[in-house]
Structure 1
Amino acid sequence: MRHRTVSPGRGRGGRMQGTGGGVTRPGLSRPSAVVHELHKNDGTNPRSARGRQIASEMESLMEDVYGGAVTQCPPTSSGVDGNYARFKTSFNAAAVPRSWQHGPADANGRCFNASDRNLLCMDVYIKNKLCVVGSADHGLKVFDITTGKEKKNLYAKNYGHTEWVTCCKFFQNSGQIISGGMDSKLCLWEATGPVRCSDLLGHTGSISQVEVNNSSNIALSSGYDRTMRLWDCGGGGGRCLATLAGHKAPVMMFSWCGAQVLSGDRQGTAKMWDLETGNCLATMATKRGQIGSLWHLLHTSVGLLSVIGDQGGVVTVVDFPRTGSKPIFQDVLHPGGVVSGIRSIDETPYLVTAGADKVILTLDPRANFAEVHRFTDHRDFIYSLETFGPLVLSGGGNGWLLVHNAMTGKCCYGLGANAAAVREIFATPEHLVAAGDDGNAMVYDYM
């Protein structure tokens, strides 16, 4: 089994008072060098003759490995307010305690030692203040974020994953957990009682992402078998409702807003889906290869925008309801590396992007995506990005977790949240939880 690798960094141990002093990683190519080499060899450029040949060969290989899949349309739901529409829960500025502007009660935080391998995914059950983390050790652990004590170990002889756990989510209405792994299956874990799960089978490749609709017990997953699958997780079991097929490369991620799903694959193709019908509404190609991040921005002043970040630092924005699949904006915003994260600021039309160039940008779509703020405090690759009210939370490869205010353009403070890369961040009014490559989850309390 492959052991985890970690990048040296600041590590845990309190708030950082400055952001000077970079971290060098001997023997490791910088992101810009890697991307340049890929483009030079046409490996991510499907517009060149060599790129088209590689794409064709990869498609043939995928057919041999995973087989062909066809779209299976979902059962009819009850329309706009039906089972499939999903919307993000937002936090307005007034709901974020003032202490978030200044830092946690204890900058050293509370550590939960989950594994000696990388933590690859995380989610929080807000009502019961529980956190679940999934690891490269094939298991998941649930712990109480108020005490740091383990509650459950979701790994048993007859239940669970046999490979790395790549994604996990709580159903906030029931406490059930759904997890996905490199073993091609999803596990639906019971909220109470003994450690037990139902296997949701259908994917034939590693699971890359899973998201849930808490109002209807519906889950959506994507995988390396080039499909997305819709699942009914109610009633204690789990059955596949629909299969969305059409990608020619592994589906790496998706964004789900309302009944619209935006998916992206390793070859650099994005597709727009209507989840109510199962129809593919549009297919778009990125400018510079593999997709690194996706997001939906929904605001009354700009409508519903679909945002795509690619491996070459290009951000592409599509206003599909109004102008179809033709981009309304496309530019290199993070030169020399992948766009690693895209989010939006609640109650505003602002868009936030982060990249391998260690930069975070706040953009205004109303002014042709003009730069509002540029944050350059990170000293390593930005691996994770979340927003909480007006705050931007970002995790770096050196273990730094920085908190910026998107309204004032200031860096509020930093935390040494990991001994390696910070992969996951989750915020509630009372707690900040972070997890990453050192196998630990850190909890910070806010008054």
Structure 2
Amino acid sequence: MSHRPRIDPSQYARDKAEKIERARLKREAIKRARAAQMGETSEEGKDGGGEEGKSDHHSSPVPPPPSTPPPQHIIEKHKGNTPTNKSRSLGGSSQGHFGGGGGHSRSDIAPLTQFLRGPLHPEGLEFDPASFEKRKDGSRIQKGSSEDSDRPSTCIAVNPTQSECVVGSADHASYTFSTRNASPLRRLYSRTAGHSDWVSACTYLCDNRILTGGMDGKVCLWRRGGSDCTDLFGEQGSVSVLKSLSDDTPLAASAGYDGSIIVWNCQSVSVIPTKITNKRKQLPPLTAFNHNSSLLALSGSNNGLVSLWDLNSGVCTRAAAGKHLSQIQHCLPDTFDPSTFYTAAVDGKVGLWDTRGPLGSATGNEIGATLSTTPFTDNVRAGAAPISGLCDVDDYTLLVSGGTEVALLDKRKNLAVASTLRGHNSPIASLCVGGGGRVSFSGAVDGMVVAHDLRRIEPIYGMGANKKSSAFMATTEDRLIVTGDDGHALVYDFD
């Protein structure tokens, strides 16, 4: 009896992706060669000779575009323009990622090549919260990195200028340090200011002031350059999420365990809170929250309930149950479609939500106008593995999710798993992207961080970042910041 040999699906996907990439590079080389012969580099659509294209490809390589380029009018609009620093948000520039046919500037290409070649210092630049502890004479105690910390990190945020990072801690304090050299800046805690319980959320306002939220139900607004704060009480229980709402106005929103959202207007000396609740009935504790550019927000609860909020009018417009069966950990707006959101939960499902349609249907517990997928299956427990990370890749087609492994989800195919990225020996704890969506960074429970090339579908390097779980990560244009359960933070320099 003969048996058909088993095919490794991941190897098949890699081989197929490489074949498509080689064919696309050959077509690009032919087009450039023909354009060079005619002296008109903008006419990329004409067919040309093969040999000249091959030599031209080797002499002047350019970063390849994604498999599904944007519409031609978008490429023409951006061709030849040099992007500003403002257009390159955290995680890279979508304009640099959509290069197409030669419209790249040097600043576009730099982030891609930087994150692909690995950090300049593989060991990273370390920030230790213990550096703020003082002796009786007032001098600081400088502890070595070999000492374990009893204060795990609980949240992370980077300021708008990408020069500073804040990390919340289980010791009731928050710590700021430089993203350039990991040097300590401020300890946001004192006998008269700060939280009386774990710091559970943090964010920067557009004017570089810091907001922290704690399990004590308090939100603290910290003054620039000092350790004094204004205590903000919104009566919403423990704070689970804090989000800055605007790039030019000091507005923020907090999600609480009482099922409410509070919008904080920090423009004046006296902060004005606006509390938004579900008018029909009180919602369960909110565990995830995010918004798009038009201030339409989606929240997730600890029982899988999803709610839609209009932060402009201050109303909870819809709430629905049934898509997720357990705590929702991530809410994510689509980069290009303001009406679409994604959710990820402990039940192992990633859900897609089209807010233009009804979130719930008359049949009960069935979500209308949405899709879901279960990208990871834990064979040991014979169930779905929790989703611990969810990121948009700044192109039109893919999401990156983290569970037992890292998976690429195809938006065009109902969030089907397009590829699985291997390289970890333990479950994923955190996830982020850099280099214009070209590279994903995944932190694992064992403290290992692995970088994957999302275009070639392969791991490119790894770093032993934390002694314990690498629970939180953030990227700037040329930095990766990792912190976790050991309480230390590491800054990796790619410049």
**Structure 2 equivalent of residue 178 of structure 1:** 211
Q: Does 1:129 align with 2:163?
A: yes
**Structure 2 equivalent of residue 202 of structure 1:** 234
**Following TM superposition, by how much is the alpha carbon of 1:248 offset from its aligned partner in structure 2, in angstroms?**
2.9
The answer on whether the counterparts of 2:407 and 2:421 sit within 8 Å (CA) in structure 1 is yes
Q: Which amino acid aligns with 1:224?
A: Y
**Following TM superposition, by how much is the alpha carbon of 1:381 offset from its aligned partner in structure 2, in angstroms?**
2.1
**Structure 2 equivalent of residue 348 of structure 1:** 396
Q: State the distance in 2 between where 1:162 and 1:295 align.
A: 30
**Following TM superposition, by how much is the alpha carbon of 1:295 offset from its aligned partner in structure 2, in angstroms?**
1.2
Q: State the distance in 2 between where 1:331 and 1:444 align.
A: 34
Q: State the distance in 2 between where 1:287 and 1:401 align.
A: 29
Q: Which amino acid aligns with 2:167?
A: V
Q: How big is each residue's C-alpha offset from its partner over 1:61-116, in whole Å with a ceiling of 9 and x where there is no partner?
A: xxxxxxxxxxxxxxxxxxxxxxxxxx976623336241210200010111111253
**Residue 302 of structure 2, aligned match among 266, 273, 288:** 266
- 5+ long unaligned stretches in structure 2: 1-87, 98-107, 131-148, 361-367, 378-383
**Residue 189 of structure 1, aligned match among 222, 238, 247:** 222
**Structure 2 equivalent of residue 292 of structure 1:** 329
**Following TM superposition, by how much is the alpha carbon of 1:270 offset from its aligned partner in structure 2, in angstroms?**
0.6
**Residue 320 of structure 1, aligned match among 336, 355, 359:** 355
Q: State the distance in 2 between where 1:175 and 1:298 align.
A: 24
The answer on whether the counterparts of 2:115 and 2:478 sit within 8 Å (CA) in structure 1 is no
Q: How big is each residue's C-alpha offset from its partner over 1:132-161, in whole Å with a ceiling of 9 and x where there is no partner?
A: 111001111111222322111111111111
Q: Does 1:153 align with 2:187?
A: yes
**Following TM superposition, by how much is the alpha carbon of 1:163 offset from its aligned partner in structure 2, in angstroms?**
0.8
Q: Which amino acid aligns with 1:174?
A: D
**Structure 2 equivalent of residue 98 of structure 1:** 113
Q: Which has the higher strand share?
A: 1
Q: State the distance in 2 between where 1:267 and 1:282 align.
A: 16
**Following TM superposition, by how much is the alpha carbon of 1:298 offset from its aligned partner in structure 2, in angstroms?**
3.1
Q: Which amino acid aligns with 1:186?
A: V
**Structure 2 equivalent of residue 238 of structure 1:** 271
The answer on whether the counterparts of 1:297 and 1:306 sit within 8 Å (CA) in structure 2 is yes
Name which structure has the greater RCO, CA cutoff 8 Å, separation 6+. Answer: 1
**Structure 1 equivalent of residue 314 of structure 2:** 278
**Structure 2 equivalent of residue 329 of structure 1:** 371
Q: State the distance in 2 between where 1:403 and 1:236 align.
A: 44
**Residue 228 of structure 1, aligned match among 261, 264, 268:** 261
Give the alignment's Cα RMSD to 1 decimal: 2.1
Q: Which amino acid aligns with 2:331?
A: L
Aligned length: 355
**Residue 408 of structure 2, aligned match among 348, 355, 362:** 362
**Residue 427 of structure 1, aligned match among 475, 484, 489:** 475
After the TM superposition, list the runs of 4 or more consecutive aligned residues in structure 1 that deviate by more than 6 angstroms.
none
Structure 1 residues 167 and 324: CA distance shift in structure 2, 3 A:
closer
**Structure 1 equivalent of residue 428 of structure 2:** 382
Q: State the distance in 2 between where 1:244 and 1:281 align.
A: 10
- 5+ long unaligned stretches in structure 1: 1-86
Q: Which has the higher helix share?
A: 2
**Following TM superposition, by how much is the alpha carbon of 1:422 offset from its aligned partner in structure 2, in angstroms?**
1.0
Q: Which amino acid aligns with 2:467?
A: A
Q: Which amino acid aligns with 2:427?
A: F
The answer on whether the counterparts of 1:420 and 1:436 sit within 8 Å (CA) in structure 2 is yes
Q: State the distance in 1 between where 2:188 and 2:329 align.
A: 30
**Structure 2 equivalent of residue 168 of structure 1:** 202
Query: Percent sequence identity over matched residues?
Result: 28
Q: Which amino acid aligns with 1:208?
A: S
**Residue 417 of structure 2, aligned match among 371, 374, 380:** 371
The answer on whether the counterparts of 1:268 and 1:288 sit within 8 Å (CA) in structure 2 is yes
The answer on whether the counterparts of 1:169 and 1:211 sit within 8 Å (CA) in structure 2 is yes
**Structure 2 equivalent of residue 338 of structure 1:** 386
TM-score (normalised: structure 2): 0.68
**Structure 1 equivalent of residue 59 of structure 2:** none
**Following TM superposition, by how much is the alpha carbon of 1:125 offset from its aligned partner in structure 2, in angstroms?**
2.2
Q: Does 1:113 align with 2:128?
A: yes
Higher alpha-carbon Rg: 2
Q: Which amino acid aligns with 1:105?
A: L
Q: State the distance in 2 between where 1:108 and 1:387 align.
A: 20
Q: State the distance in 2 between where 1:292 and 1:174 align.
A: 28
Q: State the distance in 2 between where 1:237 and 1:393 align.
A: 40
Q: State the distance in 1 between where 2:168 and 2:211 align.
A: 11
Q: Does 1:398 align with 2:446?
A: yes
Q: How big is each residue's C-alpha offset from its partner over 1:299-330, in whole Å with a ceiling of 9 and x where there is no partner?
A: 26xx6322122222122212122565514322
Q: State the distance in 2 between where 1:165 and 1:323 align.
A: 36
The answer on whether the counterparts of 2:257 and 2:286 sit within 8 Å (CA) in structure 1 is yes
**Structure 1 equivalent of residue 287 of structure 2:** 252
